[in-house]
Chain A
Amino acid sequence: MDTWRPPVQGICLPRSASGPARTGLSPSLTAQARGGGDQRAAAPAQAPPPRARDVTVPRHARVDVPVAFRKEAQRLTMANAAEQWVLVEMVQALYEEKEELIEEWQPEPLVPPVSKDHPALNYNIVSGPPSHNIVVNGKECINFASFNFLGLLDNPRVKAAALASLKKYGVGTCGPRGFYGTFDVHLDLEDRLAKFMKTEEAIIYSYGFATIASAIPAYSKRGDIVFVDRAACFAIQKGLQASRSDIKIFKHNDMADLERLLKEQEIEDQKNPRKARVTRRFIVVEGIYMNTGTICPLPELVKLKYKYKARIFLEESLSFGVLGEHGRGVTEHYGINIDDIDLISANMENALASVGGFCCGRSFVIDHQRLSGQGYCFSASLPPLLAAAAIEALNIMEENPGIFAVLKEKCRKIHKALQGISGLRVMGESFSPAFHLHLEESTGSREKDVKLLQEIVNQCMNRSIALTQARYLDKEEKCLPPPSIRVVVTVEQTEDELERAAATIKEVAQAVLL
């Protein structure tokens, strides 16, 4: 390929009679453009200008010039000088036109300008640890915004374990899992997670977002079909996009709608059984939805799974370490055999208060990711100190199973206390530690809604309750959720604080909205 040159330059050969080729490039680039300055291309340019009549293509250039071009060149040599010049002029005109086009083209700026008062431009600055008591923009607040459900972020035991690991392994791993980036801590953590979840195998990723986003495309390929809830979080959306599968979106938690889609697909399959035999079907749902705070109806999903032979992928970032008697998540909450779920994924950035994510399930399923999970294979592995922290967090969870009941109770309390605020509607399950406050009535413009909610957040912050709006990329989300304030409950919040928070939100909302 690289000996092929656009005919323009090729036919420039005779043109060299009238001085240096008008390539428009700087001399340096010209050399580059021509076969990387290889001699074949360079030679004719250096040769004494041939007279129009005896133009011949240099012998060594003939060897690998495409046939069409060679014929053209031969024709040229046979034609008389006048004809030749007409041709050359034409080509030159064409060439100049190209140059003009290149000259004319003006690209858009790399990024559009961001207005100074963009709501997301200026971040809150947290000084010190983002734990129960948090200092946001210099104000000390009680944290109702970080997903530190079990309060493990500043747990001394977790810190001690991480510190021990830091002293042994240093910080980074300096390599992906395949190339000396697998530490014994990683193996331990995988083992512990598998045992904790009572599955055959677990696999860890070094980034929560990359977990489900890599897991989905490892299995679902072009031509496969994925049924996904409307409210699915952004990581799932990106995973689906990377998989290039056919995506069918069903209404949030609406099993009838899902069944309708599955049935439609079944009819489709009957029409083309050969294709259906190789078309994998997946249902992708979240345990507790990040965007709504609602729980998925897992028992029905499992029924549908067997009825329509579709595999279930369950993203449990908010429910792992929260729901169930032992914190195993939605499966335990509903008492469903975990083997009925093909793949469970969760991040370790919420309840475990570390960094990273994991997938668990049967070895038959999970092991595949070790060669096919992009975020697993091609990324540096999790720093050992973060893995060690996660192990210690798991230990704490296993030692205090009562913690989950406490969390549940606290969720229920604040949930109840927040009901009936005029102007704000609570969205999410009563046992969900992260739920949303929506505006009861939208002002009609998203921008204004966001401003109103931000005002509530700011005033709460002034009264030392740290809250945050749920942030979305408006243009990127498939189904953009309405603007909302996300309230996060942790076990560290005392009854008193919960009451105070609820009262504050109520007062502020009234002040702002009425």
Chain B
Amino acid sequence: MRPGPGGCCCRRPVRANGCVANGEVRNGYVRSSAAVAAAAAAAGQIHHVTQNGGLYKRPFNEAFEETPMLVAVLTYVGYGVLTLFGYLRDFLRHWRIEKCHHATEREEQKDFVSLYQDFENFYTRNLYMRIRDNWNRPICSVPGAKVDIMERQSHDYNWSFKYTGNIIKGVINMGSYNYLGFARNTGSCQEAAAKVLEEYGVGVCSTRQEIGNLDKHEELEKLVARFLGVEAAMTYGMGFATNSMNIPALVGKGCLILSDELNHASLVLGARLSGATIRIFKHNNMQSLEKLLKDAIVYGQPRTRRPWKKILILVEGIYSMEGSIVRLPEVIALKKKYKAYLYLDEAHSIGALGPTGRGVVEYFGLDPEDVDVMMGTFTKSFGASGGYIGGKKELIDYLRTHSHSAVYATSLSPPVVEQIITSMKCIMGQDGTSLGKECVQQLAENTRYFRRRLKEMGFIIYGNEDSPVVPLMLYMPAKIGAFGREMLKRNIGVVVVGFPATPIIESRARFCLSAAHTKEILDTVSRKFHFPKRMLCSKSACLSDEINHLLVIMVSTHLFAGEISHLLILMVFKHLRYLLVIQSRSSQCY
């Protein structure tokens, strides 16, 4: 859960209708004094005022509008309807009135304790299954700016898919984490990788500590250390495992982990496996973090009251579902004051933030030395796979001897290593071109442009203005499916997410921007859900082809009262309609 509205006293930009219920900015930190509010209103933005003694060198604009009341109600109604229907369908299935599509237990094992709790699967069976076609869409091309998607059909309400053999060509890809556009099948990276592939083959068949430590790995690690500006680095075969297999090496029993509530599953798993005590602070809320730190040191371990051995703060650079950027200057200040250690997961921010792509540390103009453990992945910006940890030499030496990954897991595949080396060199400008730098700039430009467009159009989007992850709020369960499908019909591939990846009423679509996107592509995307004002005024509710008119996602704040009320009426109707649609139809979808 995120911080409630209570902690902020910010003034929203002045709106004509003066209606405050329709979206309070919820983040406790987004605030402004009256004078600045006026200025901010003039700029149409909410500004972070540096009341913290200039920790920030640039404005930190981050906003999470609160869910409008009516939308929240409608969302709950939507889930209510779905749940009711779910029970009804389960009832029918139980009495064999409705055909059962899901796989069942073997006859021989019917008397075993059932493998799943029925309740566990209710959501999957009755809610997820209806809109399952929006996920796992198989693609058959490079995950670049445009992808080819294999068309699939379901004749049994998404229980199974058949591939029609058709390929939907040139779908605009707003889903892949291809931030810098290095997912390519041509160019220097691909050529270098191909060469290494010919020489080394794909596998390693051993672990780093045994006999799977190739010269390529050593080369990569030196490069990564140089890229990050740290003393040494170590690389691993999987980003997820980098977290889950290294955190246990760093902390253990008697240590305390302070983890952001929205941290990625891998960090959570790593923290759990470590055996340390875990406490959660509110998302990006430094007040909450400081309180935990203070209490931890003052009161020590529960029951025994012994002091904690060490305290490790786990944060991410960019949070992939919120699009928010960690308040790193404040985290570092706190960490220094309370002598805690900082573990920064830069999975999404490395390459994607900072003037030269060095991630969130560079973005805030900080010193990498202040971050004890710099972790990141190669999956996203570098178009490869795997993860790294960078830091002081002692840390890396320790990990080389004690990391679970180094001892038990196969090392990175050589062509993948080469892809990382080449793309990293490109970003660093070591390939003799300014291509990498241009990519980083292009991404930053695209981010600002696209975010501004969406904001102007009145959508509720979350996150920091510089974050290339752009969540657009959909709220209602019916819209998850409808949005994904309608966008694909218009040749745009987006990621939609709902519960349990988000809080139940905060379903959203997520756009990941890339340096490979051109302005035309972004314009095409935003045009598709542009809501023509003319239509609103004439009050003709005739169906336009535009997504927003179809689904009414635009519930945000920068609209006039008349528009809002009209939209709300529309929204109620559309929502009900789409609820019915997903109740009844899912046979012909992609």
**Interface residues in chain A, defined as those with a beta carbon under 8 Å from any beta carbon in chain B:** 1-3, 6, 25-29, 31-40, 42, 64, 98, 101-102, 105-114, 118, 120-121, 123-131, 134, 136, 143, 145-148, 152-155, 158-159, 162-163, 166-175, 177-184, 186-187, 200, 206-210, 219, 233-235, 238, 241-242, 276-281, 306, 309-311, 339, 342, 347, 349-350, 352-355, 362-365, 367-368, 370-371, 374-375, 377-380, 382-383, 385-386, 389, 466, 468-473, 476, 486
Which 9 pairs across A and B sit closest by C-beta, in order of nearness?
A: A28-B53, A2-B7, A111-B398, A207-B238, A379-B240, A380-B379, A364-B103, A353-B203, A146-B205
Q: Are the CB atoms of B385 and A172 closer together than 8 Å?
A: yes
Residues in B292-318 with C-beta less than 8 Å from chain A: 294, 297-298, 307-312
- The number of chain B residues touching the other chain, given as a range, is 35 or more
Most chain A beta-carbon neighbours within 10 Å: one of B173, B183, B213, B413: B413
Q: Are the CB atoms of B113 and A121 closer together than 8 Å?
A: no
Most chain B beta-carbon neighbours within 10 Å: one of A32, A40, A184, A210: A32
- Chain A nearest Cβ from B125, distance in angstroms: 11
Q: Are the CB atoms of A169 and B185 closer together than 8 Å?
A: yes
CA distance A355 to B209 in the complex (A): 17
Residues in B111-143 with C-beta less than 8 Å from chain A: 111-117, 124, 128, 135-143
Query: With contacts A39-B33, A107-B310, A166-B185 known, is A347 near B410, CB below 8 A?
Result: yes
CB closest residue in chain B, given A98: B298
CA distance A171 to B377 in the complex (A): 14
- Chain B nearest Cβ from A269, distance in angstroms: 10
Query: With contacts A2-B7, A174-B380, A180-B493 known, is A210 near B241, CB below 8 A?
Result: yes
- Chain B nearest Cβ from A307, distance in angstroms: 12
16 contacts between A and B (CB under 8 A): A25-B337, A35-B287, A107-B309, A111-B402, A131-B201, A146-B206, A167-B194, A172-B416, A174-B183, A207-B237, A209-B245, A349-B204, A353-B205, A380-B385, A386-B202, A389-B202
Q: Are the CB atoms of B379 and A177 closer together than 8 Å?
A: no
Cβ-based interface call for B504 (8 A)? no
Q: Enumerate chain B residues within 8 angstroms of A162, measured Cβ to Cβ.
A: 197, 201-202, 415
Q: Are the CB atoms of A171 and B113 closer together than 8 Å?
A: no
Q: Are the CB atoms of B205 and A147 closer together than 8 Å?
A: yes
Q: Are the CB atoms of B113 and A32 closer together than 8 Å?
A: no
Q: Are the CB atoms of A238 and B401 closer together than 8 Å?
A: no
Q: Enumerate chain B residues within 8 angstroms of A466, measured Cβ to Cβ.
A: 211
Most chain A beta-carbon neighbours within 10 Å: one of B52, B205, B250, B382: B205
Q: Enumerate chain B residues within 8 angstroms of A25, measured Cβ to Cβ.
A: 337
- Chain B nearest Cβ from A201, distance in angstroms: 9
Q: Enumerate chain B residues within 8 angstroms of A34, measured Cβ to Cβ.
A: 287
Q: Enumerate chain A residues within 8 angstroms of B398, measured Cβ to Cβ.
A: 111-114
CA distance A241 to B245 in the complex (A): 12
Cβ-based interface call for B29 (8 A)? yes
18 other A-B residue contacts (CB within 8 Å) besides A121-B400, A158-B201: A1-B288, A28-B52, A38-B8, A42-B51, A98-B298, A107-B339, A111-B398, A111-B402, A114-B398, A129-B199, A146-B205, A148-B203, A166-B415, A180-B139, A182-B139, A184-B140, A210-B244, A389-B202
CB closest residue in chain A, given B7: A2
Q: Are the CB atoms of B265 and A374 closer together than 8 Å?
A: yes
CA distance A134 to B205 in the complex (A): 12
Q: Are the CB atoms of A163 and B245 closer together than 8 Å?
A: no
- Chain B nearest Cβ from A142, distance in angstroms: 12
Query: With contacts A64-B6, A128-B199, A171-B383 known, is A107 near B308, CB below 8 A?
Result: yes
CA distance A110 to B309 in the complex (A): 9
Cβ-based interface call for B532 (8 A)? no
Q: Are the CB atoms of A102 and B338 closer together than 8 Å?
A: yes
Q: Enumerate chain B residues within 8 angstroms of A98, measured Cβ to Cβ.
A: 294, 298
Q: Are the CB atoms of A385 and B202 closer together than 8 Å?
A: yes
- Chain A nearest Cβ from B223, distance in angstroms: 16
CA distance A346 to B372 in the complex (A): 35
Q: Are the CB atoms of B31 and A468 closer together than 8 Å?
A: no
Q: Enumerate chain B residues within 8 angstroms of A105, measured Cβ to Cβ.
A: 297, 307, 339
Q: Are the CB atoms of B115 and A311 closer together than 8 Å?
A: yes
CA distance A367 to B241 in the complex (A): 22
Q: Enumerate chain B residues within 8 angstroms of A379, measured Cβ to Cβ.
A: 238-241, 266
CA distance A126 to B282 in the complex (A): 46
Q: Are the CB atoms of B273 and A37 closer together than 8 Å?
A: no
Q: Are the CB atoms of A179 and B495 closer together than 8 Å?
A: yes
Cβ-based interface call for B189 (8 A)? yes
Q: Are the CB atoms of B287 and A102 closer together than 8 Å?
A: no
CB closest residue in chain B, given A102: B297
- Chain B nearest Cβ from A76, distance in angstroms: 23
CA distance A182 to B148 in the complex (A): 12
CB closest residue in chain A, given B148: A184
Query: With contacts A166-B194, A380-B377 known, is A124 near B241, CB below 8 A?
Result: no
CA distance A287 to B113 in the complex (A): 25
Q: Enumerate chain A residues within 8 angstroms of B410, measured Cβ to Cβ.
A: 207-209, 347, 349, 355
CB closest residue in chain A, given B286: A32
Stretch at the interface among B14-22, B174-182, B563-571: B174-182
Query: With contacts A29-B337, A36-B285, A471-B210 known, is A102 near B140, CB below 8 A?
Result: no
CB closest residue in chain B, given A35: B7
CB closest residue in chain B, given A364: B103
Q: Enumerate chain B residues within 8 angstroms of A350, measured Cβ to Cβ.
A: 205
Q: Are the CB atoms of B409 and A126 closer together than 8 Å?
A: no
Q: Enumerate chain A residues within 8 angstroms of B415, measured Cβ to Cβ.
A: 162, 166, 171, 385
Q: Enumerate chain A residues within 8 angstroms of B238, measured Cβ to Cβ.
A: 206-207, 209-210, 375, 379-380
Q: Enumerate chain B residues within 8 angstroms of A107, measured Cβ to Cβ.
A: 308-311, 339-341
Residues in B42-96 with C-beta less than 8 Å from chain A: 51-55
- A102, A136, A172: which contacts B383 (Cβ < 8 A)? A172
Q: Are the CB atoms of A173 and B211 closer together than 8 Å?
A: no
CA distance A177 to B176 in the complex (A): 11
CA distance A35 to B286 in the complex (A): 9
Q: Are the CB atoms of B404 and A309 closer together than 8 Å?
A: no
- A37, A129, A153, A374: which contacts B31 (Cβ < 8 A)? A37
Q: Enumerate chain A residues within 8 angstroms of B552, measured Cβ to Cβ.
A: none
CA distance A109 to B333 in the complex (A): 19
- Chain A nearest Cβ from B284, distance in angstroms: 10
- Chain B nearest Cβ from A111, distance in angstroms: 4
Q: Enumerate chain A residues within 8 angstroms of B369, measured Cβ to Cβ.
A: none
